[in-house]
Amino acid sequence: MTKIAHHIPDEMLAAYAAGRLPATFEMIVAAHVSMCDACRAALETHEMLGGTLMETAAPAAPLEGDLLERTLAQLDAPVEPDGAARTPPARMGIYPGPVAEALHHGPPRWRAAGGGVRQQILAEDGKSSVRLLYIPGGQAVPDHGHGGTELTMVLQGAFHDETGHFGPGDVEVADESLEHTPIADAGAACICLAATDARLRFRSLLPRLAQPFLRI
């Protein structure tokens, strides 16, 4: 696999660690981290900072009653398959685990989206959505104005636009100020995971914190 050149911005990794990211963007973060060791390390660093703050800064809340005894009594009970100890889903072909899970571990059911482009919407709630896009080689993605922020991650093939070239694992971050025309590279079709959220202003997402440890 070619080297990943375009990563998840650090602010988004921090927001994912803290549980502050919209669900559609969580899908992109989880898919990219599945493929990118650098971003996994960065995410784990944010979790380390979160854990340190949880230990030192959050007021500890005394437990009521016999929670320890009730917990000890359940140590030998069977693990719930979708409980807190659940095993994250595995990769399926070109689809990283979290995408495979959203596809219910079956192939995409493509629908025509115009100009030879096909799509399958994985989740949608009015202001935000996440979908798979299938773009034939050499084809431009039809104009799709995005309010808010849009993240696009390549799963197969590649595309290029005014800002650069994106191959498997790469993530393009676009806000409303970016006008671009992504074009799939000639050859095999380009399959992407694309998430939009009309409400999220990327620049306001938050802190660049743990950078000193990471991007050395």
Partner 1 sequence: MLAVRDNRDRAAFARLFAHFAPRVKGMLMRSGMGAAAAEDVVQDVMLAVWHKAHQFDPARAQVSGWVYRIARNRQVDLARKAGRPLPEEVETETPPEADPGAILGLAQEAGELRAALARLTPDQREVISRAYLGDLTHGEIREETGLPLGTIKSRIRLGLERLRHELKDLRRE
| Binding-site ranges for Zn ion (CB under 5 A) | 7, 36, 38-39
Q: Minimal distance in Å, beta carbon 168 to partner 1?
A: 15
Closest CA to 10 of 48, 53, 52, 43: 43
If residue 132 lies in a helix (H) or strand (E), which one and from where to where?
A: strand 128-135
Pick the closest to residue 96 from 40, 136, 164, 20 (CA basis).
40
The entry of Zn ion, partner 1, none near residue 1 (CB within 5 to 8 angstroms by kind) is: none
Taking the least distance from each CB to partner 1, the nearer of 91 and 127 is 91
Per-residue binding string, partner 1, 90-129, x by CB under 8 A, is xx----xxx--xx--------------------x------
Residue labelled with tokens 């790469």: 170
128: which 2 tokens?
A: 């935000």
Per DSSP, the three-state class of 19 is coil
Using the minimum distance from each CB to partner 1, give the nearer residue, 1 or 75.
75
The DSSP letter of residue 202 is: G
Selection from 5, 51, 9, 4 nearest residue 29 by Cα: 9
Among residue numbers 137 through 176, which ones bind partner 1 (CB under 8 A)? Answer: none
Q: Work out what residue 7 binds among partner 1, Zn ion, none; the CB cut-off runs from 5 to 8 Å by kind.
A: Zn ion
The structure tokens listed for 65 are: 């009653």
Q: Which residues bind partner 1 (CB under 8 A)?
A: 14, 17-20, 23, 26-27, 29-31, 33-34, 40, 43-44, 46-64, 67-68, 70-72, 74-75, 79, 82-85, 87-91, 96-98, 101-102, 123, 204, 206-213, 216
